[in-house]
């Protein structure tokens, strides 16, 4: 009898504590914060868009119902390309010096390549040789890999 009453009191007190804790925990939004909130370099000029405008690149994607049609569509965080920006596409007038596999750029699931955009200049180790440049040395590296394995990196020199 005493055990029964003790058990009832403990169960009642425990249930009350759980209900109180649940009521005090604030609800959180499930929407992803904009990349600028996560510290993406140069994100001040960026915005979410249903398309990638000419002259822009994108640094992140998410699924949305805001872009028309039925079902989910890709929403892009777009911004102008700039030196030091990790972008999901390469851009005219830029090269890149490193890559990473990420889910940030995915438009249909799976990993995609992200590129560290760089303004070409003499003395830069880059993964491509842009027009107006040649190279004076090479190295084999994983820095430039887009699908696994070693790739060539070039020491740029303007001509």
Instruction: State yes or no: pLDDT of 43 exceeds 50.
Output: no
Alpha-carbon span 113 to 35, nearest angstrom:
17
**CA 7 – CA 26 distance, rounded (Å):** 31
Domain map of the chain by residue range?
A: 32-158
Q: How far is CA 153 from the centre of its chain?
A: 24
What's the pLDDT band for 44 if we cut at 50, 70, 90?
A: low
> Which pLDDT value is given to residue 76?
95
Which residue would you say has higher pLDDT here, 110 or 14?
A: 110
Lowest-confidence region among 11-15, 29-33, 51-55, 110-114 = 29-33
* DSSP symbol at 34: P
pLDDT tens sequence across 126-141: 999 999 999 999 999 9
More confident residue, 108 or 50: 50
% of the chain surpassing 90 pLDDT:
62
- Tally Cβ neighbours within 10 Å of residue 99: 19
Q: What is the pLDDT of residues 51-97, one digit of tens each?
A: 999 999 999 999 999 898 888 999 999 999 999 999 999 999 999 99
Q: What is d(CA 85, CA 124) in angstroms, rounded to the nearest whole number? A: 16
């Amino acid at each position: 009898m005493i055990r029964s009453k003790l058990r009832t009191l403990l169960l009642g007190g425990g249930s009350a504590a759980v209900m109180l804790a649940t009521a005090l925990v604030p609800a959180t939004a499930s929407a992803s914060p904009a990349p600028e909130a996560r510290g993406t370099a140069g994100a001040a000029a960026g915005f979410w868009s249903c398309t990638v405008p000419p002259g822009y690149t994108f640094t992140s994607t998410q699924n949305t119902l805001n872009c028309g049609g039925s079902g989910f569509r890709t929403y892009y965080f777009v911004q102008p390309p700039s030196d030091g920006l990790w972008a999901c596409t390469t851009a005219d007038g830029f090269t890149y010096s490193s890559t990473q596999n990420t889910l940030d750029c995915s438009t249909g699931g799976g990993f995609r390549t992200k590129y560290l955009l760089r303004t070409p200049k003499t003395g830069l180790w880059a993964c491509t040789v842009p027009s107006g440049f040649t190279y004076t040395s090479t190295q084999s590296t994983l820095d430039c890999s887009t699908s696994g394995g070693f790739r060539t990196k070039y020491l740029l020199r303007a001509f």
